[in-house]
Structures are given as structure tokens and as C-alpha cells.
Structure 1
Amino acid sequence: MGEKVAAGGFDLSDRQRHRRRLRQCLTALERMLEEKRFDRPQNLMGLEIELNLVGADGLPRMLNHAVLERIASPDFQTELGQFNLEVNIAPHRLSARVLDQLAEELRTGLGYADRKAREVAAGIVMIGILPTLTEEDLGSANLTEVDRYLLLNEQIMVARGEEISVDIQGVERLTYVAESIAAEAACTSVQLHLQVTPGRFADVWNAAQAATAAQIAVGANAPFVFGRELWCESRTELFLQATDTRPPELQAQGVRPRTWFGERWIDSVHDLFEENLAYFPALLPLCGEEDPQRVLDEGGTPDLYELVLHNGTVYRWNRPVYGIADGVPHLRVENRVLPAGPTVTDVIANAAFYYGLVRTLADEQRPVWGRLSFDDAAANFERACRRGIDAELLWPSRRRLGGVAPVSSVSAVPAVRLVLDELLPMAADGLDAWGIDAADRDRYLGVIEQRCRRRVNGASWQSQAFHRELRSGLGRQAALAAMTRRYCELTRTGEPVHTWPV
């Protein structure tokens, strides 16, 4: 959530007014869709990466303001925790050598930021959850002192009405009680944006939902939380529980969590914004001054302030985004499932796999969401988070019965086999459809292929390296720190994680 907000209390009239303004925004969005006011196709993509600040000892450094002062670039911003930063890459057209171009921009920007961070005895690392974080690191005192973070924390805690309880059972079990949402800051991700027209939005969003499990299976990089080994991608479950506004009674009633995979395939972008209003009370009932209908009547583009702000507090793994560029409105799918890291090459490989796969899935005449139930897609998401590269995923296959036309059946398939046999060729076709250079296509999809063939991703490397340190005689905390230091050293080589020695 990047909106600038001012801290302050809310009364009943604020919430009532905000609810009315949200409905006005949704009505304005409906009108804009009907009147075809959105931007034409431009094949634009964007990239955001959340980062951690780490010392030479492998421990977190609460120094984001000091580091940002030294970086002095608008591309880098604060994030929720004082040990976090975020880097934003300007939109690029999906074509030609864009993948190598993005890789070079990231290496240059992150290299510069890392050098500036070292001036205050810190370094920058991309990792889903920093393994050496402790419960004590994630107290309210270590939230970044920015109004929007403090206000969001206050409102989530008020809505919940009690402490946040985290309980995750994986390889080990973590139970944790917090008086703030600071545990959310542990979860650092890559967000991939894709601008789409309204007519294409539903197909692209459905395709992205179907692809999430495969993305996580090959890209998992967060097996440790507060020293406990949990899921291969523990970040998703920790984020869900750390931002949960529901007390246990509402959870038992089946009230939806704000961090949400969803519950159905959609027919229009309107479905998602309408669900956000219908299912989730406003956390930040702030109102702008604009009358969106009047702006439309006068031929302008409304900012839909209330709708955009509310949308930023509903944490869908594939989120709809309304934006304006040069006075023209557009829509984006924001894919939020991937963890940060391990290296720039790995990040760009994950991006190549996503953009290529989603393009092909969205273009299919017989789309996968017509053959795979949404419940199965949601089950795949959880399986991939738990098991990572070793997950088995439900996927529709085609077979012939008695010589008649092929019919679909859904069966469980090892993720690595599904990716190698079916999804990587689809991703390659999708990158070709975008006009990506063949050498870039092969280089970055080759990284995904090698992860599958070697059954290695960031999560599996972390787990193996940690257990090696334990076997060498180190205690748990020392082993986590040693593994983290080694991880940081290897990220600076730039070599993708499947090549790293354990």
C-alpha cells in the first residue's frame, strides 16, 4: 500500500461517508468499463522487490531510514519494518531484450544500494523471510515510523480486538503472539505487474490464479520463521495470519481473511472490486475530495481514491489494480505470490516463467479454468507453499476414450514433471507471443528447467545448508546465522541458486 495517509482517529460518520464514497467509486468504475475509457493494449509490465537489511553477522539491521538517506533515489522506498526497503522498477514493454535489460537495471540499482548500505554496516539481501529474525525483532518499536504503517497497524488491531496469534505447523511448529502486525514485515516478496485491457482482464487474472502453485513450487524461498523450519514458502501463511482482522469466533464462522486466494474464477475485473467492497470492511476510511461522476461528466479521469486505498488493504495474491498514467486510466494484474530472491537471475527467471505462462494460459481456446475447479487451484496453492519443489499439483490432462474427442481428467502430478513436460513449453510459447528475444527466453527459462531437474530452489538450499551446519556441531541460532551469511555471500556472486554448493 503506497498511498500517503495521515494518522488520526475515525468516528462513525467517517465510516458511513467512506462507505458511500466507495459505492460511488464502484459505480464510476462500472461506467468507465461500459464507456470503454481504459488504455489500449501496451504490453507493459512492472516489477517491485521488497528487501532485507542484514549485517555481516547475518542478523537484521533496523536502519532503513539511514540507508535510504544514503541511496537518495526515488526508486527505493520504506517498507513496514525498519529492516526493510522496497525497490520499484519503471514499467517496461514486454518485448525483445527486456529480460536482460531488467536484469542489468536490477544489478546496477541493487549493487549501488548495497554499497550505500555498507556505509552503515548493513547489506541488502533478497530472501522471502530472513532466517535470523526473532520475535523480539518484530515488536511495534521496529515498525517504520510512517503514518500509513502506524495507522494500518492501529486499525487492524482495533478491528481484531485482541492480540494476533500465529500458529503454523510444518516441519516444526511455530506459535507466536503479537501486539502488532509487525510479523508482516518479515515477508518480503516480488510483485509482478501486467497492464491489461478490461476485455482481457478476467482471462489474465484466472490464468495467474491457475499459475500460482507452479510459481511457488519452483520459486519457494522462505522455509524459516523465527528459527523454526515450517513450510517451503512460509511467507504466505505468516502474512495471512499476521494481517488477520478476524478474532477466532469470526474465523470459526467462515468470514474471509483479508489475505485471500479467492473463491471463484471471474468474468470481469468488476467482480473483484465488488467483492472487496462486499466482503471487507474499510480499515482506512479516508475520503478524498473528488466527485468521480462529475469528473467523468467533464471528460476527465477520476482517481477513485477511496476504491484504490481500500483495494490496497485487501491482500489478494493476484490483485486487481486501477491506475492512471498521463491522464489515461488503466488496469493491471499484480501478482504477489513470489518471495524475493535469491539472485537477480533467479528473480528474472521467475518473471519470465510467469509472464510467458500467463500469456499462453490466457490465450487458450479451452482455458484451464474450464477444466480445473477453483477449489483445486486453491488446494494447489497450499500444497506448493507447504512442499515447494517436492509438491504434487492437481492438473487437467487430456485422454481419449473409445476413439472419441479428448476429454479432461484431473490428476495429481509432481510439480517438477508438470513444469518440465507442460508448463515450460507453454511459457516459451508465451514469451514468443510477447516478442521476447529467443536467447533471453532460453536463458531464463533454462534456470527454471535446471531447478526442476536438480530439485533445487531457494527453500531447499536454505534447508540443506542449515542442516549441514547443525551436523557440523553448531547450535540452532548459530547454524541459522551461518547459513544466512553463506546465502548472502552466494547472492553477491550473481549465480542462480540451483548452482550453489551446499
Structure 2
Amino acid sequence: MGQEIAKAQFSDTDFDNFRQRLGEETALLSRYVREGRCSSQGPITGFELEAWLVDPDMNPAPVNAAFLEAFNGELACPELAKFNVEFNSTPQFVRGEVLSRVHSDLADLWRRAYMAAESLGVNLLAIGILPTVPAAALNLSNISELNRFRALNEQILSARRQQPLKLDISGHQHLTLEHQDVMLEAAATSFQIHLQVPLERVRDYFNTAILISAPLVAVSANSPFLFGKDLWSETRIPLFEQAVDSGGYRDASHGPLHRVGFGSDYARSAISEVFEENLQHYPVLLPILSETPPEQFAHLRLHNGTIWRWNRPLIGFDPDGRPHIRVEHRVIPAGPSIVDMVANAAFFYGLIECLANEQSGPPIPFAQAKDNFHQAARYGLDAHMVWQNGEKLPLRSWLLHELLPKAEFGLKRLGLAEADIAYYLGIVQQRALSGQTGSEWQRRFIAKYPGEFSIMTREYLKRQKSGEPVHQWPL
């Protein structure tokens, strides 16, 4: 979905031709997977970081076109709203001092981006949901000037027969509202981790990413507030699931097949099952035809980009042109600080490496993994998880006494530097011990200074610029 498209209006012929090519490419990918013709490189990682542009009053600043011109770098691109931008990393092998390198590269990228924002009189902020964003700012006058975004809005509304999108989120407080376009999605920004592993292991790592989404979203939670309401620890999850609420064929939006969601199952036999489900159950939204050969999977990749599972397999290409399949882990919010995000990535790499190699298959049913995820997003570190044999575990204790040691084992198995393992996992440990995630810091601030969202956001920005991990942030 990062690519621009040439037009925003489509004919029935466009849809028919696209579906035909999508079917051909899906069959080809399934054959590639069966025959082992995808890359055996890995583990290799990269990330996407979405961020906000805010004015001196901490309100959204719709200036991403000017920002991107000032930044003048290939690693940044526009997001859905004019007040959001996305940054990308270059791929790196997960070994040695990769965590320190990712930290250094991300910090350098952030410094350059912050200077570009300052040159425009605005600030750059990494936070899951901007506490000061008003619903009125999420309108089509603030949609980025790209065909793909306008086409996406038109096609989602068409799939919904022009019915308004509805938010209904019950948390500490209750929020309900109706919205006439997909711009609600722009209120949610994330830190997305990509992990490429050899083809023969992709299915296991994809399933494990699903399994560990619950502890990852709990320990990284950074989005408690939306439109002045205190909702979930990670309100970004229900917000995004409802902001683009459109299902599969035959009114399947009332069933398990949502375009944004946790998915419908593990990959049972092969990772290609996910792409086969895309073909069979999700209508085409953007029928942009490509003249590239089927081996480039242009139509399959574009269609996959319009289905937003919290864990999503992606097709890419190695430098030698060989296709690879990687896992995109989308559950972690942006922020609170650069070091916090690298620590979250360290926890993810270690935990997925350990658990993917520890057992022959997922220890709990998919439905339980999905319920664990939503419980963790709602209650954060106070959630309880159901694990093997129906055992119910307090998440914070489970994290400290079992999951962090497993993550450490996984990072050592990958051959990461001992000092990096201790430092970055230590940050996750201290966050769990103190109970102060980004979400809890925001809640504690508003409990002390009720209604002062602008002051809180300004203090958050100050702390983010300091580089301190969130567990050390005072009120």
C-alpha cells in the first residue's frame, strides 16, 4: 500500500481483469511455497514508524507535504492524513549488535526528521493516538494528496453501501460516534516490525507472532485516550478495527473475516493459506492493473496491502531478485521513546525465536490467542491470559517470570550481543516491574491534572526528546 496509483475511479472490467491476475499470482505463489522457491535468507529485520506532526499548541499540523520536502529523504513517505508521516528502515540481519545499530539508525533518522519539522515551526511526535486530536480534524480536507488514499476511502464506503463508520468502544469510559469517511484510521499510529526468516520457517514464525501479540501489546501500550475519553490501554486496537470496518464477500463483515483484525486462524499447513484466503474471501478494493510478469506478484501484493491483519505475511524480494515472505507485526504503537521502541523490538525478536523453536505448534487454540490479544489491549499489564491446559495467568507475573527469560534465551540463540540483550530487555523488565507503560504514564498524568491533554502532550514531547525510557518518566 506504499505505492501510488494512477487513478481513483474503476470500471467493472478493471475489477474482472484484476481478479483474474490475482488468481493467477496466488496459484503461482502457492506453487513457489510448495516447491521451496522462495528465499531461505534470514532472520532479517526492518521497521516502519508512523508519527504525528503537531503545532506549538500540540494540535495536529497538516503539513506532511512540506515536511517531506524539507526532510528530503527516501526513508520517509506520507501517511493517510496530512498530519502523519511514515519512516522506514533499511533491512539488517538479526545478529551481533543489531539492536544497538537499529537504535543508532533510528535515533539519527529521528534527529534529522525533527530538524525538518522544526524548520516548519512544528514538532514531530511518536505516540499511538495523539491525545489532542479532535474528531473534527479527521476529515477529507486533511487526507494526503495521493490517489491511493482517496480511492481507498471511496472503495471502503462503497463496500459499506455508503453507511457511516461507527465507533463503539467500552473501556474505563465509553465512546460512541459515527464518521462519514475512513479518516478515523489516521488517529492510530504504530511501530511495525518486519521479520524475514527462511521459507521453511515462515509458517511457524507467523503463528508464533499471533501467539505473542498479547504480551507485546500489553507491555508496549501507549494509547489510552481518544477524543477526551479514557478507553483501553491500547485504544489503537479497537479504533483501527472499527475505523475501516469492512468484511469479506456476502456481508461477511458480520462474521470473522474483517479487513482489519486478528485474522481467522493460524496457518495450518503453509503460509500460502493466508494469500489463498485473501483471494477467496476479500473483495478487491483497488483494481490497479500492472504489466509486470506474474513472478513480481504485483496484484497479490496490492490486494494483500488492503487487508490489515495485526500479523500479516508480506511478499518482498531479496537483492538477487528472489521472492521472500516476511512477517509484519503490527500490534505495537509508536513511542513513547526511541529506546522503548527498540526494547519492544528486542522482546519481540527474542520471544518469537524462542517459542517458534520450542514447540511443534501453537499451545492454545487460535480463538484463545485472539481473546488474549484483546484482553491485553484493553487491560494492559493488569490483564490475565489463558495459556496451555486452560491455565489462567496474571500477565505481569507471566511476563517477568517466564516470557522475559524466554526472550533472553531467544536473543542468545540468535547470537546477539550480551550487553544489548541485558540493556534492552532490562528496559522491558523495568517497565513491567514499575507498571509504567506509556499508557499508564498518560493516565497517571491526567489523574493528577484532569483534562489537561495539551499540557500532558507537551510534557510527553519533552520526555520523548530526552531519550529516557518511559518507566523513568516523572509526572
What whole-Å deviation, never above 9, does each CA across 1:121-148 have from its counterpart, x for those lacking one? 1111110000000111101111111111
What whole-Å deviation, never above 9, does each CA across 1:357-415 have from its counterpart, x for those lacking one? 00011101344x1x21111101101101100121111122xxxxxxxxxxxx2222111
In structure 1, distance between residues paired with 2:392 and 2:140: 43
Q: Answer whether contact 1:140 1:179 (CA < 8 A) is retained.
A: no
In structure 1, distance between residues paired with 2:143 and 2:344: 29
1:241 aligns with 2:242: yes
- SS, match of residue 103 in structure 1: helix
Q: TM-score, normalised by structure 1?
A: 0.91
Matched with 1:390 is 382
Runs of 4+ in 1 over 3 A off after TM superposition: 249-253
Matched with 2:282 is 280
1:416 aligns with 2:396: yes
Give the CA deviation at 1:250. Answer: 3.5
In structure 2, distance between residues paired with 1:122 and 1:283: 35
Matches within 5 A, 1:7-86: 7-86=7-86
1:492 aligns with 2:465: yes
1:440 aligns with 2:420: yes
CA RMSD of aligned residues (A): 1.5
- SS, match of residue 339 in structure 1: coil
1:460 aligns with 2:411: no
In structure 2, distance between residues paired with 1:336 and 1:278: 23
Higher alpha-carbon Rg: 1
Q: Answer whether contact 2:223 2:235 (CA < 8 A) is retained.
A: yes
Aligned CA distance change for structure 1 residues 75 and 23 (closer, same or farther; 3 Å): same
Q: Supply the AA of the counterpart residue of 1:454.
A: S
Give the CA deviation at 1:170. Answer: 1.2
In structure 2, distance between residues paired with 1:113 and 1:8: 30
1:501 aligns with 2:474: yes
Matches within 5 A, 1:194-213: 194-213=195-214
- Of residues 195-204 and 282-291 in structure 1, the stretch that sits farther from structure 2 once superposed is 282-291
Matched with 2:367 is 375
Give the CA deviation at 1:325. Answer: 2.7
In structure 2, distance between residues paired with 1:291 and 1:494: 46
- SS, match of residue 166 in structure 2: strand
Q: Supply the AA of the counterpart residue of 2:385.
A: L
- Of residues 122-131 and 39-48 in structure 1, the stretch that sits farther from structure 2 once superposed is 39-48
Q: Supply the AA of the counterpart residue of 1:91.
A: P
> Which residue among 320, 330, 352 is the counterpart of 1:336?
330
- SS, match of residue 332 in structure 1: strand
In structure 2, distance between residues paired with 1:8 and 1:108: 36
Q: Supply the AA of the counterpart residue of 1:457.
A: T
In structure 1, distance between residues paired with 2:338 and 2:390: 35
In structure 1, distance between residues paired with 2:292 and 2:262: 32
Aligned CA distance change for structure 1 residues 250 and 117 (closer, same or farther; 3 Å): same
In structure 1, distance between residues paired with 2:465 and 2:45: 26
- Of residues 28-37 and 409-418 in structure 1, the stretch that sits farther from structure 2 once superposed is 28-37
Matched with 2:193 is 192
Q: Answer whether contact 2:171 2:378 (CA < 8 A) is retained.
A: yes
Matched with 1:428 is 408
In structure 2, distance between residues paired with 1:441 and 1:229: 34
Matched with 2:255 is 254
> Which residue among 296, 311, 314 is the counterpart of 1:318?
311
Q: Supply the AA of the counterpart residue of 1:480.
A: F
In structure 2, distance between residues paired with 1:117 and 1:109: 12
- SS, match of residue 492 in structure 1: helix
- SS, match of residue 100 in structure 2: helix
% same residue? 39
Matched with 1:136 is 136
Q: Answer whether contact 2:138 2:183 (CA < 8 A) is retained.
A: yes
In structure 1, distance between residues paired with 2:360 and 2:431: 29
Give the CA deviation at 1:42. Answer: 2.7
What whole-Å deviation, never above 9, does each CA across 1:442-499 have from its counterpart, x for those lacking one? 10000110111111101011111112111xxxxx3xx111111110110011000000
Q: Supply the AA of the counterpart residue of 1:394.
A: V
1:127 aligns with 2:127: yes
Q: Answer whether contact 1:133 1:227 (CA < 8 A) is retained.
A: no
Q: Answer whether contact 1:7 1:150 (CA < 8 A) is retained.
A: no
Matched with 1:163 is 164
> Which residue among 346, 353, 364 is the counterpart of 2:358?
364
Q: Supply the AA of the counterpart residue of 1:465.
A: F
Give the CA deviation at 1:52. Answer: 0.6
In structure 2, distance between residues paired with 1:117 and 1:239: 26
Q: Answer whether contact 2:51 2:127 (CA < 8 A) is retained.
A: yes
What whole-Å deviation, never above 9, does each CA across 1:213-235 have from its counterpart, x for those lacking one? 00011000010111111111010
In structure 2, distance between residues paired with 1:91 and 1:282: 30
What whole-Å deviation, never above 9, does each CA across 1:257-296 have from its counterpart, x for those lacking one? 101212222121111101111111011112212342xxxx
Aligned CA distance change for structure 1 residues 102 and 238 (closer, same or farther; 3 Å): same
- SS, match of residue 62 in structure 2: coil
In structure 1, distance between residues paired with 2:315 and 2:80: 23
In structure 1, distance between residues paired with 2:254 and 2:23: 26
Give the CA deviation at 1:3. Answer: 2.0
Q: Answer whether contact 2:103 2:342 (CA < 8 A) is retained.
A: yes
Aligned CA distance change for structure 1 residues 366 and 329 (closer, same or farther; 3 Å): closer
- SS, match of residue 91 in structure 2: strand
Q: Which runs of 5+ in 1 are unaligned?
A: 293-301, 397-408, 471-475
1:481 aligns with 2:475: no
Q: Supply the AA of the counterpart residue of 1:127.
A: I
In structure 2, distance between residues paired with 1:366 and 1:79: 39
Q: Supply the AA of the counterpart residue of 1:310.
A: H
**Matched pairs, number:** 471
Aligned CA distance change for structure 1 residues 366 and 24 (closer, same or farther; 3 Å): closer
Q: Answer whether contact 2:256 2:263 (CA < 8 A) is retained.
A: no
Q: Supply the AA of the counterpart residue of 1:316.
A: R
In structure 2, distance between residues paired with 1:246 and 1:429: 40
Q: Answer whether contact 2:246 2:253 (CA < 8 A) is retained.
A: no
What whole-Å deviation, never above 9, does each CA across 1:195-248 have from its counterpart, x for those lacking one? 12221111001110010000011000010111111111010111111111259x
Q: TM-score, normalised by structure 2?
A: 0.97
Q: Answer whether contact 1:45 1:94 (CA < 8 A) is retained.
A: yes
Give the CA deviation at 1:252. Answer: 7.5
Q: Which runs of 5+ in 2 are unaligned?
A: none
Matched with 1:87 is 87
Q: Supply the AA of the counterpart residue of 2:342.
A: I
Aligned CA distance change for structure 1 residues 205 and 252 (closer, same or farther; 3 Å): closer
